[in-house]
Amino acid sequence: MRADRLLRLYPRAWRDRYSDEFLALVGPDRLRARQVVDISMGAIDAWLSSDVRRSAAGASATANGGGAMLTMMKAAACGGAKYRMTSRDVVISTTIMLGGSLLMAVAAMWISWTGHPGLGGAVANLGFPLSVTASMHFLYMKTYPARVRVVVLGTMLVILLGATWLATLT
């Protein structure tokens, strides 16, 4: 995927203000998967953050030709703003994955025992994906703003629960 297509995900004011800088920074080449995810998360943040929309609508490029976004992104990339996974993050994430999977397995057995084997099987199949999705908040997505994590993970959870619900209808 190319950056000019992902640019459409951003609000109009953001695109009007930053599109030239953004495209110059990212370049014309196809993007890697991680870049697509980061740019998509930035778009979600731009839509949810009134500060971003306000600054995009009111800001102008700096006199030296480099815009505010370019300066900020360079500082983040050069300033060591890299993701660091701590042992605490791993423990929390692992506890959520294992505890959630165990809890869902127990719930599936109870649901099957009460006379709903189809729903019990669906809940059993949902256990691990649901637990991994919940653990992502503390591990893989911790560098994103909280509102972006809530939207992305909430959407994933709704899709998982919706697919499970649809599977139980047949």
The answer to whether residues 114 and 150 belong to one domain is yes
Q: Give the residue numbers spanning the domain of 134.
A: 87-168
* pLDDT score at 102: 94
- The tokens describing 125, both together, are 């199949």
Residues ≥6 apart with Cβ < 8 Å to 3: 22, 23, 26, 27, 28, 31, 39
Q: How many CB atoms within 10 Å of residue 98?
A: 13
Residues 94, 61 share a domain: no
Tell me: do 92 and 129 sit in the same domain: yes
| Residues 19-43, mean pLDDT to the nearest whole number | 84
Residue 86 is given by DSSP the state: -
For residue 108, the model assigns a pLDDT of 92
Of 36, 61, 78, the residue at which a domain comes to its end is: 78
Q: What is the mean pLDDT of residues 94-99?
A: 92
Between residues 164 and 55, which one has the greater pLDDT? Answer: 164
Which pTM does this prediction carry? Answer: 0.54
Domain count, the chain: 2
* Confidence at 88, pLDDT banded by 50, 70, 90: confident
Distance CA 162, CA 135 (A): 19
Grade residue 50 by pLDDT with cuts at 50, 70 and 90: low
Q: Dump pLDDT digits (tens) for 101-138.
A: 999 999 999 999 999 888 888 888 888 998 888 888 88
Does residue 72 sit in the same domain as residue 9?
yes
55 and 99 housed in the same domain: no
**Residues 105, 71 share a domain:** no
Domain boundary among 60, 78, 96: 78
Mean pLDDT, the chain, whole residue set? 79
Q: Are residues 93 and 123 in the same domain?
A: yes
45 & 74 share domain: yes
Clarify whether residues 70 and 36 are in a common domain: yes
Judge if 56 and 102 occupy the same domain: no
pLDDT given for residue 110 in this prediction: 95
Domain end residue (candidates: 78, 101, 136): 78
112 and 155 housed in the same domain: yes
Looking at the structure, tell me whether residues 119 and 72 fall in a common domain: no
